Structure 1
Amino acid sequence: MNKLKMVLPFIQARWFRRFSSRQALARYQQKALEKQYAYMRTHSPYYRQLPKDESFPFMDKQFMMTHFDELNTQGIKKEEALAFALASEKTREFNQDYQGLSIGLSSGTSGHRGIFITTEAEQALWAGTVLGKMLPKGNLLGHKLAFFLRADNQLYQSINSPVIELAYFDTYHPLAEHVARLNKYQPTILIAPASMLVALAQQIEEKNLALHVQQVISVAEVLEETDRDYLAAMFDLPMIHQIYQCTEGFLGCTCSHGNLHLNEDIVYIEKEFIDERRFYPIVTDFKRTSQPIIRYRLNDILVAANEPCPCGSVFQRIEKIEGRADDIFLFEGKNETTVSVFPDFIRRCLLFVPDIRTYQVTQHSPRLVEIAVDQLTEQQKQQIQEEFQNLAEDLKFTCPQLTFSVYEWNPRIKLKRVARNF
């Protein structure tokens, strides 16, 4: 029965949920929002006690965890859900439910772990929507998906059906084990964090792995432009797709032209602009009822693309996911001021230097930045120094001391190529 419930959202996402204009989309969203608000005022203890004339407040992860018991509509207690999710993490067994619900933990990239819950109906809705949007055009049946992630969840396993097979690959396991299993499994679609995809591509380059996939989808991490080009070459594909998915919802995915769009048919996004095109998304998921995601402020930095997409979709096109707010570097400016530098400017200091692909830049203090690269020549170090000095002069901050180290990839941790740790 749960598999049958996937059919309608699959059909809607793939063929029928189309909008002729932004105005038509806005009318659809308004009706969906009104329905969701009415439901929450009836079924969520937290929203039930709000005065009817009071607007719904903004939330974030801390708010969600503080009010978890009152927010959710399933009567689930935070401590019980957390204990269940942690037990699954420790045993690496993710096939059990809790009172008919799927419960998982966020990866805690921003420093705070969160709990997410989904009902069986929501799992079917999610699976049908993802498959409807992401399966290759004109080729629906018989796909074998290889799915890499830190933790499995019944939400992801809901994709399994008589016509589509999903195999979970635990990123805690050794890379050699994955290579052997992939050579035997031979998936048609490969889904993994960008850093894992790069590691697998390197195995292809070294002739240890032979795959003939129809589609590669990057998830969970920022997909760098250089990594995207390298992956396309190694997997012999015209483009690398992306899914913008987090515990707050299925927020975006690439279209047939490889451009990332927000999924505005299932989420409403308010934009908190940082500059002319960068913004923080404030998410309302109007398809999810067990755990309200209403006016949820993410600290992801999205860059809006203003030109229309050749695919014809009216959904907001995103040029890139630049990083998180807590990855904006902070340097010393003139007269004791602080200069904020977006992650993209830091990336460029490495991208302008030839023959650097895998790296990580970590700011330890306003005066100290660590550059981790696989192999680095003295000439490359000098070029990086010059790029940082040029950036400092352009943005008027004091250039920090740069230290260099060897890059070591840890597949158990979500990779952030640009990170600030103070």
Structure 2
Amino acid sequence: MKLADTLRLGAYLARTRWLLRFRGRAAFERWQQRQVRRFLDTHLPRSPYYRQYAGQPLSALPVIDKQAMLAHFDGMNTAGIGLDDATRAALDAEMTRDFAPELRGMTVGLSSGTQGPRGVFLVAPEERARWAGIMMARTLPAALMRRLLIGRRPVKVAFFLRANSNLYSTLKSRRVDFRFHDLVQGVDSHLPALIEQQPDLLVAPASILARLAQHAANGVLPIRPQRVISVAEVLEADDRVRIGQAFGLDVHQLYQCTEGFLGYTCEEGVLHLNEEYVHIEPEWLDREKTRFVPIVTDFSRTTQLIVRYRLGDVLRVRSAPCTCGAPGRAIEAVEGRCDDVLWLPGARQAGLSALYPDMLRQAVTSAPAALPDYRIEQHGMAWRIAVADGAQASHAALAAALQRLIARHELRPPAFQRMPFVDSDAHVKRRRIRCVQRPATSQENHA
């Protein structure tokens, strides 16, 4: 890393950890609006696509999604890189598992593609340094921060994901022993390296952490991380408990995706949006304003502009304020993708009503007897369900738990059908609930 980028990393670490302080939400929002305005004034004219919107307020710019981003990729980035070249470079890295090569000085990567086509991202070296500083400020507990700054030993990080990136490896230095564990190679093959490293931070998707927790509980994985962080998947209640018990820690979360670093768990254990660097417009899904789809403007990224990007995620707002003092909105949960929401017609009213993923998960965990791992797929008025043990009793108990939820919301019950249980490969994101096709109707309500 160049000296300028090292200094930038340190500056953003200090800025994020200690310097950005606000007297209240109103003061923060005024500050954020100034940052967004400066970002738009400086960077929209540099983008062939956004140049036509220069000088206009954020609210006047179009809301885009992944399809629009890919369609206008060439004009939305300021590096003059075309989608075909970026995709080719990213696919080459995926095939060879060598993620170090760059494209004209830029880091290129692919999203996992859990919903529609795979997204492509571009990151410049200065953005990588900025991201690394912010990330360390958000994730290191006090003891590890002291070791990073003045300790003799490096902070040891074990990172499991489907693909590596120069973005992630920016963390690697004399002060940080960062090791990437490729999930394409499975999980168990990495156990000897984990035991040898004895990581201070263990970072992985929730389903992988659950697998590692099982090994730790069985005495196969004798490690004692100081922090365990879930990424890339929904952290469900059963996994949270299992992981926490195995490692003796509360599980933290990072809400990071192709579109930016969107959220983190504070020291009080509450998930916050990273609004000091990302502007979030909530697209509310219910009258009570308890759930929303985020529309994201990342004013820390200057190469691939993320401006009013509508994510396909459903976020649930935390009702009680957090005492940590962070200005970012407190979130109860990232519930999943929009197509993790299931829909049924009302028994007494027209139109479809939404059953959100947390409602379904709560129904399953509240069943009289503990249920094994499961999958639910909606195909119109048919719900296909599967259980890991394949037992008829487990299948019946899962169907009964869902029927109780449906009756409580006064919805018309679907036909339940059995399907084989297929567990995801380690490098594929786990999705327990998925709406493949909604029932046919023209109206929607929100349960």
* Alpha-carbon distance between aligned partners in 1 of 2:362 and 2:118, rounded to the nearest angstrom: 30
Of 182, 196, 204, the residue aligned with 1:192 is: 204
- The residue aligned with 1:413 is 428
1:50, distance to aligned residue in structure 2 (A): 3.0
1:305, distance to aligned residue in structure 2 (A): 1.0
1:68, distance to aligned residue in structure 2 (A): 0.6
Contact 1:3 1:161 in 2 (8 A): no
* Alpha-carbon distance between aligned partners in 1 of 2:174 and 2:378, rounded to the nearest angstrom: 49
* Alpha-carbon distance between aligned partners in 1 of 2:220 and 2:375, rounded to the nearest angstrom: 26
Q: What are the residue-to-residue correspondences of 1:378-393 with 2, within 5 Å?
A: 378-393=392-407
251-260 vs 136-145, which deviates more?
136-145
- The residue aligned with 1:19 is 22
Contact 2:44 2:51 in 1 (8 A): yes
1:81, distance to aligned residue in structure 2 (A): 0.6
* Alpha-carbon distance between aligned partners in 2 of 1:381 and 1:218, rounded to the nearest angstrom: 29
- The residue aligned with 2:362 is 348
Instruction: Confirm whether residue 60 of structure 1 aligns to residue 60 of structure 2.
Output: no
Instruction: Confirm whether residue 247 of structure 1 aligns to residue 262 of structure 2.
Output: no
Q: How big is each residue's C-alpha offset from its partner over 1:121-146, in whole Å with a ceiling of 9 and x where there is no partner?
A: 00000000000111012322221100
* Alpha-carbon distance between aligned partners in 2 of 1:178 and 1:51, rounded to the nearest angstrom: 50
Instruction: Confirm whether residue 360 of structure 1 aligns to residue 375 of structure 2.
Output: yes
Instruction: Confirm whether residue 3 of structure 1 aligns to residue 6 of structure 2.
Output: yes
* Alpha-carbon distance between aligned partners in 1 of 2:327 and 2:345, rounded to the nearest angstrom: 42
* Alpha-carbon distance between aligned partners in 2 of 1:408 and 1:78, rounded to the nearest angstrom: 33
Instruction: Confirm whether residue 285 of structure 1 aligns to residue 290 of structure 2.
Output: no
Q: What are the residue-to-residue correspondences of 1:215-234 with 2, within 5 Å?
A: 215-234=227-246
Task: Please tell me the residue identity of whatever aligns with 1:352.
Answer: S
Task: Please tell me the residue identity of whatever aligns with 2:355.
Answer: V
Unmatched 5+ residue regions in structure 2?
149-153, 438-447
* Alpha-carbon distance between aligned partners in 2 of 1:135 and 1:19, rounded to the nearest angstrom: 22
Q: Residue 296 of structure 2 aligns to a residue in which SS?
A: strand
* Alpha-carbon distance between aligned partners in 2 of 1:367 and 1:26, rounded to the nearest angstrom: 46
- The residue aligned with 2:408 is 394
TM-score with structure 2 setting the length: 0.90
- The residue aligned with 2:323 is 310
- The residue aligned with 2:441 is none
1:98, distance to aligned residue in structure 2 (A): 0.9
TM-score with structure 1 setting the length: 0.95
Contact 1:262 1:316 in 2 (8 A): yes
1:350, distance to aligned residue in structure 2 (A): 1.6
1:332, distance to aligned residue in structure 2 (A): 4.4
- The residue aligned with 1:117 is 122
Q: How big is each residue's C-alpha offset from its partner over 1:207-237, in whole Å with a ceiling of 9 and x where there is no partner?
A: 2211111000000000011211110100111
* Alpha-carbon distance between aligned partners in 1 of 2:223 and 2:372, rounded to the nearest angstrom: 22
Contact 1:358 1:407 in 2 (8 A): no
381-390 vs 205-214, which deviates more?
381-390
1:340, distance to aligned residue in structure 2 (A): 2.6
Q: What is the number of equivalent residue pairs in this alignment? A: 420
Contact 1:392 1:399 in 2 (8 A): no
Q: How big is each residue's C-alpha offset from its partner over 1:290-339, in whole Å with a ceiling of 9 and x where there is no partner?
A: 01111111110000113211212232000011111111112344587433
* Alpha-carbon distance between aligned partners in 2 of 1:240 and 1:231, rounded to the nearest angstrom: 7
- The residue aligned with 1:45 is 48
Q: How big is each residue's C-alpha offset from its partner over 1:184-204, in whole Å with a ceiling of 9 and x where there is no partner?
A: 221111000000001111111
Contact 2:163 2:182 in 1 (8 A): yes
Unmatched 5+ residue regions in structure 1?
none
Contact 2:379 2:436 in 1 (8 A): yes
Of 260, 265, 269, the residue aligned with 1:258 is: 269
* Alpha-carbon distance between aligned partners in 2 of 1:131 and 1:421, rounded to the nearest angstrom: 38
Residues 404, 358 of structure 1: CA spacing in aligned structure 2 closer, same or farther, 3 A cutoff?
same
Residues 51, 266 of structure 1: CA spacing in aligned structure 2 closer, same or farther, 3 A cutoff?
closer
1:421, distance to aligned residue in structure 2 (A): 2.5
* Alpha-carbon distance between aligned partners in 1 of 2:172 and 2:426, rounded to the nearest angstrom: 25
Residues 398, 153 of structure 1: CA spacing in aligned structure 2 closer, same or farther, 3 A cutoff?
same
Q: Residue 49 of structure 1 aligns to a residue in which SS?
A: helix
Contact 1:359 1:407 in 2 (8 A): no
Runs of 4+ in 1 over 6 A off after TM superposition: none
Of 118, 126, 151, the residue aligned with 2:163 is: 151
Q: How big is each residue's C-alpha offset from its partner over 1:96-141, in whole Å with a ceiling of 9 and x where there is no partner?
A: 1111100000111112211100000000000000001110123222
